[in-house]
Amino acid sequence: MFNSTKQCYCKLLFQFQHKLKQTSRACSLRVKEALPESLLEDRKYDNDEYEETDSEITFRFKDLTTNLCSPDQLRTKPDTADLKFGHVFTDHMLKIFYHRKLGGWQKPVIIPFENLSLHPAAKVLHYAVELFEGMKAYRGVDGIIRIFRPDLNMTRMNVSAQSSGLPTFDGHEMSECLKRLLQVDSEWVPHGEGSSLYLRPTLIGIDGTLGVQQSDSALLFTIMCPVGNYFDGNNDAVSLLADPSFIRAWPGGSGDKKVGSNYGPTIRVQKHAISKGRQQVLWLYGPDHQLTEVGTMNIFMFYEDEFGGKRLVTPPLSGLILPGVTRQSIIQLCEQWREFPLEQRSITMGELVKLQKRGKLLELFGSGTACIVSPIKSIEYMDELIEIPTTEHQNPIYRRVRTELQMIQYGHIKHPWAQPIE
C-alpha cells in the first residue's frame, strides 16, 4: 500500500516542508520562552558552570546515569499480536527526583524497572497531584527507531506541571533522556507496521504530608510498553454513548491539561456506556450539546456543506478539550493538502443529527496517540441510534490521515515530526 502512493506523498512532502520547518521552529521557541535567558545562552553540555545553580530550573541530560539490568533480569519480549495495551513493560525506566529542599531537580537515572516506594501521605495518592504524557516510538522500514514530535508533548507536560504546582523543566533535556531510555530498551520497539513502543512520562507530587498544598517534592518518571493496536488489535469502527448528563470538563476547570483528575471520574461513565452496549463515551457540553471529546480522544467530523463542498471540522481549543498532538498533526496535514477547508469550531449534536438525516455526515473519528485515528460507526443519543457511514466510503479521510501519519512514523518518508533516536 505504501509503495504505490510513495511518489505522491513525496511530492506533497516538498510542498509543505517549509511550513513544517516554521512549525518546528515555533515549537522550539515556545520551549525557549518558558526558560530563562541564562539557560539558553549556553546549550553545550560539556560546560559545567550551571550544574549547581540551575537545578531549580531543570535537570540535565548530561547528568544522566544508567544502571542496566543484569542479563538474568532481562525479560522475554511478548508477541506483539497478543499485546493488550499497557500490560507489559520494558526492562528499564527513567527516574528524576525533585526536592525543593535539596536545590530542586536531582540527576536523572535510568534503572531496571521497579516498583516505586511512596510515603503513604504522598500528595499524588490523596489529592491527585499528577500528570502524564503519551508518546510513541516506531521502528521504521529502514530499521531506525523514531519518536513522534516529542517537543509538543514536553511543552504540554510543562503546561500541565505549571497548572498543578509541580516543577517545570527544559523539555529538550527530557527528550534527550527519553531517547537514551529508548536506546537502552531499543529491542523492545516491536517490528512490524501498526505496532510501536508507547512512552508514558509521568510527574507526581510525592510530599509525605497531608493538606491540599503544593508538593515540594516530585518524581518525574517514564515507563514504556510495547503495543499492537490500542483497540484490541481491532480496527473496526466504535459505537458511542452520548449522554448530556455526564460532563468531562467545564470552563474554569482543567479539561485542557493532561492531569489525572480528568480521567478517574470518567471511569464510571465509561462503565455505564459499556453496560448500555456502547464502546466509548462521546462527551457533550452545554445546553446545545457540543461535542468535546470521545473517550480520551479529540474528535473530527467530515461533512458536506449546503453547497456540496466537503469540510473537516474539529472543536476549538476552548479550554474544554485537550490540545492533542495527533489533533494538531491532522490539522497541519489538512492545511497542507489544501483540498478542503479545515474548521476549528463547535459542533453541536443538533448539527450532527441534521447532517446525518440529510446524508451529509460523511465521517466521524477520534484522534489520539494511542490509536492515531479511530473511526466511529454510531452514537446513541436521546434514546436514538445515529448511524454514521464513516467506514463505508472509498478512501475515507480518516484512513488517509492514518496512512499519511504512518508514512512519517515508520520512516517511509523523511519528516521532521519523526525524530530518529540513533
Of the chain, the end-to-end C-alpha distance in Å amounts to 27
Query: How is residue 274 annotated by DSSP?
Result: H
| CB-CB neighbours of 100 under 10 Å | 14
Contacts of 359 (CB under 8 A, 6+ apart): none
286 binds a copy of itself (CB under 8 A): no
- Does residue 112 bind a copy of itself (CB under 8 A)? no
Does residue 209 belong to the site contacting a copy of itself (CB under 8 A)?
yes
User: Of 93, 137, 182, 347, which one interacts with a copy of itself (CB under 8 A)?
Assistant: 93
CA dist 344 → 255, 303, 315, 384, 419 (Å): 17, 14, 5, 27, 28
Nearest CB to a copy of itself, comparing residues 246 and 417: 246
Tell me phi and psi for residue 127, to 5 degrees: -115, 15
* Residue 345 identity: R
Report CA 232 to chain centroid distance, whole Å. 18
Which amino acid is residue 352, in one-letter code? Answer: L
Question: Applying CB under 8 A, does 129 fall inside the site for a copy of itself?
Answer: yes
Q: Cell numbers of 414, please?
A: 523523511
| 296 belongs to the binding site for a copy of itself (CB under 8 A) | yes
Is 198 near a copy of itself (CB under 8 A)?
Answer: yes
Does 98 bind a copy of itself (CB under 8 A)? Our answer is no
Helix axes 325-337, 2-33, angle to 10 degrees: 120
Identify the residue among 15, 53, 183, 213 touching a copy of itself (CB under 8 A): 213
Quick one: 125 or 353, whose CB is closer to a copy of itself? 125
Which listed residue (28, 106, 235, 254) binds a copy of itself by CB under 8 A? 254
Binding mask 151-190 for a copy of itself (x = CB under 8 A): -----------xxxx-------------------------
280: three-class secondary structure by DSSP: strand
Q: Tell me: does residue 264 bind a copy of itself (CB under 8 A).
A: yes
238-242 vs 135-139, strand pairing mode: unpaired
Residue 270 contacts a copy of itself per CB under 8 A: yes
User: For residues 230-249, which are near a copy of itself according to CB under 8 A?
Assistant: 244-247
Tell whether residue 45 is a contact of a copy of itself (CB under 8 A): no
Enumerate residues 6+ apart whose C-beta is below 8 A from 357.
Answer: none
Rounded to a whole number of angstroms, the minimum distance from the CB of residue 306 to a copy of itself is 33
What is the smallest separation between the CB atom of 223 and a copy of itself, expressed in angstroms? 5
Nearest-angstrom CA–CA distance, 59 and 64: 9
* DSSP character at residue 341: -
375: which strand partners?
365
The site that binds a copy of itself (CB under 8 A) totals a number of residues, namely 62
Per CB under 8 A, does 282 bind a copy of itself? no
Tell me the C-alpha distance between 61 and 316, whole Å: 35
Q: Which stretch binds a copy of itself (CB under 8 A): 96-104, 144-152, 202-210, 395-403?
A: 202-210
The rounded distance, in Å, linking the Cα atoms of 283 and 233 is 24
Q: Which of 128, 218, 241, 334 binds a copy of itself (CB under 8 A)?
A: 128
CB of 253 to a copy of itself, least distance (A): 6
The CB-of-205 to a copy of itself minimum distance in angstroms stands at 8
Phi, psi of 116 (to 5 degrees): -95, 140
Single residue of 36, 112, 251, 350 touching a copy of itself by CB under 8 A: 251
- Least distance between a copy of itself and beta carbon 406 (Å): 22
Look-up of cell digits 525506566: 93
Q: If binding is defined by CB under 8 A, does position 211 make contact with a copy of itself?
A: yes
Residue 126 within binding range of a copy of itself, rule CB under 8 A: yes
Say if strands 280-285 and 238-242 run parallel, antiparallel, or are unpaired.
Answer: parallel
Q: Which stretch binds a copy of itself (CB under 8 A): 83-91, 101-109, 304-312, 356-364?
A: 83-91
Grid cell locating 354: 441534521
Q: Is 337 a binder of a copy of itself (CB under 8 A)?
A: no
Q: Does 252 bind a copy of itself (CB under 8 A)?
A: yes
268 near a copy of itself, rule: CB under 8 A: yes
Render 187-225 in DSSP notation, one character per residue: GGS-SSTT-EEEEEEEEEE-----SSS--SEEEEEEEEE
Q: How far is the CB of 120 from a copy of itself (least distance, A)?
A: 5
Which residues lie near a copy of itself (CB under 8 A)? 85-87, 89, 93, 113-121, 124-130, 132, 162-165, 198, 200, 202, 204, 209-214, 221, 223, 225, 244-247, 250-254, 259-268, 270-271, 295-296
